[in-house]
Amino acid sequence: MTRADTRIQKKNQAVILEAGLKVFSQYGFRGSTLDQVAEAAGLSKPNLLYYFRSKDAIYTALLAKLLENWLEPLRAIDPMGEPVDEILAYATRKLDMSQHFPRESRLFANEIIQGAPRIGEVLSGELRELVDEIAVVIDGWAAAGRIKPVDPYHLIFTIWSLTQHYADFDVQVRAILGDVDPFDGAATHLEAMLRGLLQPK
Q: Note whether 172 and 150 are within 8 A (CB).
A: no
pLDDT value of residue 64: 86
What confidence tier does 127 reach under pLDDT thresholds 50, 70, 90? very high
- 117: helix, coil or strand? coil
The separation between the first and the last C-alpha atoms of the chain, rounded to the nearest angstrom, is 61
The residue-averaged pLDDT of 140-157 equals: 98
- Same domain as 180, residue 85: yes
Cβ atoms of 191 and 126 within 8 Å: the answer is no
Three-state secondary structure string covering 32-44: CCHHHHHHHHCCC
On whether the CB atoms of residues 162 and 91 are closer than 8 A, the answer is: yes
Q: Which of 15, 32, 53 is the last residue of a domain?
A: 53
Report the range of poorest mean pLDDT among 62-66, 160-164, 187-191: 62-66
Asked whether residue 2 carries a pLDDT value surpassing 50, the answer given is no
Please check whether residue 59 lies inside any domain of the structure: no
Both 79 and 145 in a single domain? yes
Q: Contact, 162 vs 192, CB < 8 A?
A: no
Give the pLDDT mean for 131-144.
98
Specify whether 9 is located in the same domain as 71.
no
Average pLDDT rounded to a whole number, residues 11-24: 93
Residues in CB range of 168: below 8 A, 6 or more apart: 102, 105, 106, 109
Any domain includes 134: yes
Q: How many domains does the chain have?
A: 2
CB neighbour class for 140 (10 Å; exposed up to 12, middle 13-18, buried from 19)? middle
Whether 48 and 68 share a structural domain? no
Same domain flag for 11 and 83: no
What pTM did the predictor assign? 0.86
The answer on 70 and 49 residing in a single domain is no
Angle between helices 128-143 and 83-100 (to 10 degrees): 140
Q: What is the pLDDT of residues 69-115, one digit of tens each?
A: 889 999 999 999 999 999 999 999 999 999 999 999 998 988 898 89
Residue 58 lies in a domain: no
Is residue 5 in some structural domain?
yes
Same domain flag for 69 and 33: no
Q: 10 and 77 share a domain?
A: no
Q: In CATH, what number is assigned to the domain containing residue 125? A: 1.10.357.10
Same domain, 84 and 134: yes
Q: Do 45 and 89 lie in a common domain? A: no
Domain of 14, in residue numbers = 1-53
Kindly report the CATH number assigned to the domain that includes residue 26.
1.10.10.60
Residues 38 and 95 in one domain: no
Question: What is the per-residue DSSP string for 128-161?
Answer: HHHHHHHHHHHHHHHHTTSS----HHHHHHHHHH
